Chain A
Amino acid sequence: MKWAVDRDREFTEFVVVQRAALVRVAALLVSGDLARAEDVVQTALTRLYLAWPRVRAGTAGAYARRCVVNAALDDRRSLLHRHERVSAELPDLAAPVQDRDAADLVALLGTLPAGMRAAVVLRYVEGFSVAEAANAMGCSEGTVKSQSARGLERLREAMPGRARNAI
């Protein structure tokens, strides 16, 4: 049984190490909306805290990412349930994105449908395997493969100078 003190200490250690990456993933999943990304991460970390006694050692990161993806993809949250829980100081998302190409790419990601965007971000930005991405998204590996491939194709079409093996 996890005593309250142990839970808080372990959870804090996890947050200090992982939070920035979770915010990054969340921001990319919600088209760069920083306030919404922070809301997503807060929701995900709250769920993780509640589940902490059941989370096996070494799997908290995967669990947290799954929570982030679920929270980001939940359309109801964005329309009806967004609470005013955003902290007074939002973490900087390399704000502004200095790299023009990176800024363009973040914007283009925002034009993809939510599920397709999630597949692309998890597979190509975060480097998840197909199985890991499927686990985080709660879908089949086939869906991850098809969505990430289509998403990549759309991005290439939108950036004609960046086609595969372009010189």
Chain B
Amino acid sequence: MQDVEDMLRALPQAVTPGPAGADLAAGDVARGRRALARRRRRRMSGLAGGVVVVAGVAVAAVSLPSQAGRTTPSAAASGSTGAHAPAIQLVAYTGAQPAGFTVSTVPAGWKIVFSDDFSFVLAPPGTSTAPSADGQGVSFIGRIAVMLQGDSQLASDAKVTTVTVNGRMGQLALADGGDAKTSAKWLIYPDAKGNKVLIQVPVSLGLSNAQIVRFAEGVAVTSAAKAGVG
């Protein structure tokens, strides 16, 4: 007669269900995608699912300041941006403007890959601009996103750097959540009309705070822009 321990060890043979079919696995993937989309929406309010491809064309390079909060361009031709960042230059943007905003400069080679009344997204060179196959909308990982602040808030314990954007005080800090691969900085600032703008920049891009400010100073909110909720 088996000891209880032996019976416990033999339980898997008696109680293991059959292998997971394709339908079960597909259901788990679908739930994962939905949860991922919900998490992204919580972090980035106001997203929609359309994709608009707009090309950015470099006309002139603008060198970047190296100190946070400065609004005047430096004379440095190399575009030195900080201890850990590759040289990235902002170039004049001459493509079609996004729906709810206007943008005057973009990182060289970057394109607007998504735009609606709530936000627009810039992606680096070589990024596919095809619509998301799962209908979950465009990814923000590794990309720059611009939107009205809406309900998004920096974490209460975030280390905030106060910066000046077009003469108005803004807050720059690491966004809540994310890991080394997906973490991003948020710049939240008011524009001349009182709109609170939020710009998300991936840390992996290596832009300095000054560069992020510089980019923000080239963004304007149009009357078509809407703040997302939830």
Taking CB atoms, residues of chain B closer than 8 Å to A125 are 8-9, 11-12
B interface, size bucket: 35 or more
In the assembled complex, the Cα of A21 lies from the Cα of B112 at a distance in Å of 45
**Total of A-B residue pairs, C-beta within 8 Å:** 139
In the bound complex, CA of A155 to CA of B5 (Å): 9
Question: B55 within 8 Å of A by Cβ?
Answer: no
Return chain A residues, CB-CB under 8 Å to B15. Answer: 24, 27-28, 93-94, 97, 102, 106
For the complex, would chain A's binding face be called helix, strand, loop or mixed by DSSP majority? helix
Taking a contact as CB atoms under 8 Å apart, the answer to whether A49 and B18 are in contact is no
Summarize B's interface: helix, strand, loop or mixed: helix
The answer to whether B32 and A11 have CB atoms under 8 Å apart is yes
Is B19 in contact with A87, judged by CB distance below 8 angstroms? no
**Distance in angstroms between the alpha carbons of A145 and B22 in the assembled complex:** 39
Q: Are A45 and B4 in contact (CB under 8 A)?
A: no
Report yes or no: B20 in contact with A91, Cβ–Cβ below 8 A. yes
Task: For A161, list chain B residues within 8 Å (CB).
Answer: 1
Which of these, A1, A46, A53, A92, contacts B28 with CB under 8 Å? A46
Other-chain residue from B24, B26, B36, B141 in contact with A91 (beta carbon distance below 8 A): B24
Inter-subunit contact B8/A15 (CB<8 Å): no
Contact with B along A1-35 (1 / 0, CB 8 A): 10011001001100110011101100110000000
On B, residues with C-beta under 8 Å from A are 1-5, 7-12, 14-20, 22, 24-29, 31-33, 35-36, 39, 132-134, 139, 141-142, 179, 181-182
